[in-house]
Structure 1
Amino acid sequence: MVTSDPVSLNHPVVVGITGASGAVIARELIDTLLNRKHSVIAVASNAARMVWQEELDEPYNQAVARWLEHPRFRQYAISDLFASIASGTTPTAGMVIAPASMNSVASIAHGLTPNLVLRAADVTLKERRRLVLIPRETPLHAIHLENMLTLSRMGAVILPPEPPFYLKPLDIDGVVRFVVQRALVALGLTDALPDDLQYQDRQR
């Protein structure tokens, strides 16, 4: 079970970015956290940077330069296993992997930690902190599902980026914002979704 120590909310949120499609989710998540004055530590895999280049108009290094204007932002290289977040002695408010590739999901589920994203996730689990995974794959076969079930049983939150069809009409940006807000709720950084992202009964 994860803990919900309110003091931890003053600690940084770790954002891991892997090579699955959905880089826009990571960008929106970090932007939102910084705009809400939460500290962020980001780690992106090499594959994540390649996907980012393909999917977004803003290069990853340009986004990092923009985030570095915030005193609450820090990033580590994927190979830096001496980084502070590789140790459980460094307090954090939890971790989000957005997007989470199936390779990363499988590695975390089986305790394999060859890079900093995976090591930080392993630390988050062993310290009973909140770990939120936003997996990007479809359809899912049995091994994908079993790996996610294993992580769920360990206390991780599996948060697929599903569109909220009840909020019609909603464009891609709206879906991304919805998923990011759900991640913040899962981290315990907010109690509820904004009014415009909550389901409200409508007269037909």
Structure 2
Amino acid sequence: MKSDEKRGIWRMVHGERAALVDDLAGLEADRWATPSLCAGWTVHDVAAHLVDTALTTRTGFVAGLVRARFDFDRQNARGVELRRGASPAETLERLRRVVSRTTTPPASLDTRLVEEVVHGEDIRRAVGLVRSYPQEAVVRALRLQVRTPASFGGAKEAVASVRLTATDADLSIGEGPEVAGPALSLLLAASGRRVALDDLDGPGVGALAGAAA
């Protein structure tokens, strides 16, 4: 990946972090306890996870995975416990401090966009907030998700038998019965957020819903 492309991705990542900080700054403290779209996590938990992933380095990720006995869920849970402040205000301040960080685990840089966009929606949809995301950020995140195996948090298997067509972007991925809708909804559905299935149309929706169950 060329340096200009990397800088462009980091600009989008930092923009999403800053936008989420702004949104959360206006959220009442009691609403941080709202269940998010990410199963088992509250809005507060997701915010803490985003702090943790922003602070993660390549060596730190590997060391944490070893401590978690190569269980990604256990590793993520430990990260949330570590980064979750005693109050929403404390966690928000921690999130604000990592907005401009450029550390990343040993993975494609586009994983940072998946984290920020999908988890951003985990929070926003749960509390009724709306954001218009940069199309490039959503498309890059979606392209990565559909080629990443489920064992690494992706949707390769879930979308293997359908064709995803974005109605708001020049994007068509895969072969099979079509699933059509906004790129953001395709990304969320491919990431296991079933609420986004209501935004989609086409003969392949049932197959995608079954695969993502």
TM-score normalised per structure 2: 0.29
User: Which structure is higher in helix share?
Assistant: 2
Quick one: higher RCO (CA 8 Å, sep 6+), 1 or 2? 1
TM-score normalised per structure 1: 0.30
